[in-house]
Structure 1
């Protein structure tokens, strides 16, 4: 491993017990001998082809109709083997909703989609696992919740959705769509993205520590009188 800044070798090939294969994916930060390293790209095209679908990222969006079930949905996501790497609650403007639904601009139900997605807060997540795009679509079920209940009664849309518009959650169809949609909610350019839902009145701060993220703490909070108004 070569230190580009100081023009010297930082680390020769060695065994490092605290680093595991599942930690090695694009965008992750790892600590090697007290130095934080960011994995930015594959070393060559062969590695990219072999590992491209491993630890794949996609967008998971919880829609306004399922916000009250966010704890249950996150628990299901964790149990399905996904890792949540980014999470934010926000309210979309009409322009942001229009940009998000760019693939539906010619559809007659576009206005209904926009009115619904802007009717309340949404929770956007960047989720990670092997073959994440396909596995997340499978977990979602059919886009129409009524058909999802017939085809896959355990899917998220079957459990928490109502119809083809109010269908609880969203997932992109392809790698290109996932990249575009994640850029809308989690911009890499340094801009803020959609505004969050923080009210800063009659509230407090709750921090879930790393070792407890996979536990259903959010679900437990949702079952009390506490109302979650912001994730960052």
Structure 2
């Protein structure tokens, strides 16, 4: 994963060095939760000193004069991404000028990846392969497709001898759909996948994903879009409807949130892999909160935790990955306490001293950026899971 991100950063850094002092422009949208008004701005990013400025499109005036803002990097600025500027969560809707479109569109191609049922237990390792190869994960969701949905997804293969076997296999267990962003993303993802046959992949591309995690031509770990149009349609298939393939249990489960700083730091694959070794992940989705929805989610800590406002700022600072976690062996066991112990003390410094093998000890930075949120008490496990996976925070 780290290698994947580093390659993507090198590409962007190369672009910045070729355009020293370049200014990139985007059209961004902000939804005011108090007035329900949607504001649009032209957002400018200066590569030379990582400064930003914003122009109010409706009122035709400068909204934010140029100011250094190192929390935002060029690699975060792509169509559909969400960035936090002070307290405003901005959605990037479009490029703001022809220069930006010309120079960044090629670096921000998207494609659809899907982890198949046979490789679900390797999701963390596959995500590490993805991110270490330079891709940015724009969207992600675990789904359980029924046979009709599987047939719709693979309708381009209808009538072929393997169609029935393929669709039954895809409907046999959960899949993880991932929208990827990178330069020449479609071809690069298919190259990373390797040949369709896992056996051939092990001979011709032994480091490919199918060589490492696949079994044969059908159970070959992952799917990749074969054209730009297929990528567009397949992405819409998985991410248009929030209830597509709902697989959350909502019973005997607990919630884990891999926080934005860990997502941006490239730690998702490693954290998820650690979790999958001890627990079962029954639902997974990439989400983002506004400051208001983050505060509502963390309301129980208001007045109790001195870092409450810093915690809400962190949770609203970018995309996070939400997981429904269940006991690995017994689906009837409530995993809240066991998973909380697995995460470790909320202060990573304390965790490193007392319980060095916990998630927060390994991936946490401080009490606010402590890698993961986990449910504290058994009574709240199902409540928090429902809040996220039934999208009760979206309004």
Secondary structure of the structure 2 residue equivalent to 1:40: strand
Secondary structure of the structure 2 residue equivalent to 1:52: helix
Of the three residues 52, 60, 66, the one matched with 2:113 is 60
Alignment pair present for 1:181 and 2:231: no
Alignment pair present for 1:164 and 2:214: no
1:140-191: per-residue Cα shift (whole Å, max 9, x none)?
A: 001111111111011111111111111110111222211110100001xxx3
1:24-58: per-residue Cα shift (whole Å, max 9, x none)?
A: 21112223454333221223556434322213222
Secondary structure of the structure 2 residue equivalent to 1:218: helix
1:192-226: per-residue Cα shift (whole Å, max 9, x none)?
A: 352221112221111111222322111111112x1
TM-score, normalising length: structure 2 = 0.54
Task: Provide the rounded CA distance (Å) in 2 between the counterparts of 1:69 and 1:15.
Answer: 40
Aligned counterpart, 2:75: 22
Quick check: which one's helix share is greater?
Answer: 2
Quick check: which one's strand share is greater?
Answer: 2
Segments of 5+ residues of structure 2 without an aligned counterpart are: 1-53, 286-395
Q: Which structure 1 residue ranges, 4+ long, deviate > 6 Å from structure 2? A: none
Q: Would you say the 8 A contact 1:62–1:122 is kept in 2?
A: yes
Of the three residues 205, 213, 228, the one matched with 1:152 is 205
Aligned counterpart, 2:277: 223
Secondary structure of the structure 2 residue equivalent to 1:53: helix
Superposed CA RMSD: 2.0
Shift of the 21–9 alpha-carbon distance from structure 1 to 2, 3 Å rule, reads same
Q: How far off is 1:6 after superposition?
A: 4.2
Aligned counterpart, 2:256: 206
Matches within 5 A, 1:92-111: 92-111=145-164
Greater Rg over alpha carbons, structure: 2
Secondary structure of the structure 2 residue equivalent to 1:223: helix
Aligned counterpart, 2:12: none
Task: Provide the rounded CA distance (Å) in 1 between the counterparts of 2:222 and 2:78.
Answer: 26
Segments of 5+ residues of structure 1 without an aligned counterpart are: none
